[in-house]
Amino acid sequence: MSKSTAKASSDTALIKYWGKKNEELRIPENDSISIVLDGLDTVTTVEFDEHFTQDEVMLDEAKIGSSSVEYKRVVKQLDRLRKKAGKNGLFAKVVSKNSFPRATGLSSSGSGMAALTFAAAKALGLELTQKELSIFSRLASGTACRCAVGGFAHWMGGDTSETSFSKTIFDKNHWDIRDVIVVVSDQKKKITSTQGHKSAQSSSLFKPRQKGINQKIKDLKKYIAEKDFKKFGELVEADCLEFHSVLLTSKPPLVLWQPGTIQVINEVQQMREEGIECYFTINTGFNVHALTLPEYEAEVKKRLERLSLVKSIILAKVGGGPKILDEHLF
C-alpha cells in the first residue's frame, strides 16, 4: 500500500492555447503563457493497494461512475503512470477536492490533472524530473502542462511529446498580479475544452490568429519582464477577444458567454475609464478573470460583486507549482 497527496493550482491563460496538432498527445497548435493561480486549488490523494479490485474516484465528495468521461480520463492518466512504473494492474483510490466550482471555465482540469499526476507519480515511487512531470500532466490536460510548473508559465508547443512542455519564465514573486475571479454561473458548461479544440481549425479566423501568436508571446514576455501593466493588460484582453472570435466563428459556433459575462466586461471597461486598472480574460466558459494590481484589488472586488448577475467572487494571486502534502484526504 502507498498513499500520496498533492496540491496544485489552476491557471488562467494570458495568451491562449487553442487547437491541437495531435489530439492523442495533446500537442498544441501554438505556444501559450499563463499565470498559475494560488486561490484556485485542487488537493488530491491517491492510494495504490494490491487488494483493490478496481480504480475508485471521488471528486468533490461524489463518487464518479465508471462509465463517465471524468472517470475514464483519471484512469487513463493512472494507466500512463502505472505503465511507466511497471505496475500495470495495481488499482487505486483517488479522492480529489477543488476550492472552486469545477467545469465552469476556471480550468479545473488543469489543477486536477496536475495534482493527480504529482500524487500518483509519488505514490508509485516514480522519480520524475520537472520536465517529465509537465509532459505527463500535458497528456491528461493541456492546461495541466503549465499548472505542473507554476508562476508565469510558458508552454512551448513543440512538435513531439518530448518537446512539448512548460517552463516557469518568471517565478510567482516576480510581479504581484491579482486575479479577481467573477463567477456568474456555477452550472457545468455544455461543451468541454477538449471537445472545443476539435473545431478550432473550422473557423476562418483560426489561421490569422496563428500567424500573430509568436509575436504576442514575445511581446507578453517583454511586458511581464518590464512589469508594464497597461501593455500587459491590453494584450491579454486582445488575445481573449481574438480567441473568443475564433470560438464564435467555429462550426458549429461556440457561444459560451452568458449575460453576466457581458455585464462584467462592461464594468471592467468602465472602471478603466475611471482610472482603476483592470483587464478581463475568459477561458472556454462564461466566468471572468479580472486581472489587476494589489492597490486596486479591493475596489475591483467591490465593484464587481455588486453587479446583479454576479454570484460570487474568488480572489487569487500568482502561485507556485504543485506541492506534496503530508496530510491526506482519507
Binding site for ligand DP6 (CB under 6 A): 13, 16-18, 26, 32, 107, 109, 141-143, 193-194, 197, 283-284
| Residue nearest to ligand DP6 according to CB distances in the complex | 142
Counted residue by residue, the chain has a size of 330
Q: Phi, psi at residue 158, to the nearest 5°?
A: 70, 180
Between CA 46 and CA 330 the distance in angstroms is 9
Q: How far is the CB of 107 from ligand DP6 (least distance, A)?
A: 6
User: CA nearest 123: which of 265, 2, 213, 232?
Assistant: 2
Q: Which residue lies nearer to ligand DP6 by CB, 236 or 271?
A: 236
Q: How far is the CB of 260 from ligand DP6 (least distance, A)?
A: 18
Q: Which residue lies nearer to ligand DP6 by CB, 135 or 271?
A: 135
Q: Which residue lies nearer to ligand DP6 by CB, 261 or 284?
A: 284
Q: Which residue lies nearer to ligand DP6 by CB, 168 or 283?
A: 283
Q: Which residue lies nearer to ligand DP6 by CB, 94 or 271?
A: 94
Q: In Å, what is the CA distance from 244 to each residue of 51, 173, 280?
A: 48, 30, 13
Q: How far is the CB of 217 from ligand DP6 (least distance, A)?
A: 12
Q: Which residue lies nearer to ligand DP6 by CB, 251 or 302?
A: 251
CA dihedral sign, ordered 135, 133, 115, 84: positive
Q: How far is the CB of 14 from ligand DP6 (least distance, A)?
A: 9
Q: Where are the alpha helices (DSSP H) in the chain?
A: 69-85, 108-123, 130-140, 142-147, 193-197, 206-226, 229-248, 259-273, 294-305
Q: How far is the CB of 278 from ligand DP6 (least distance, A)?
A: 20
- Amino acid letter, residue 10: S
Q: Phi, psi at residue 292, to the nearest 5°?
A: -150, -175
Q: How far is the CB of 103 from ligand DP6 (least distance, A)?
A: 10
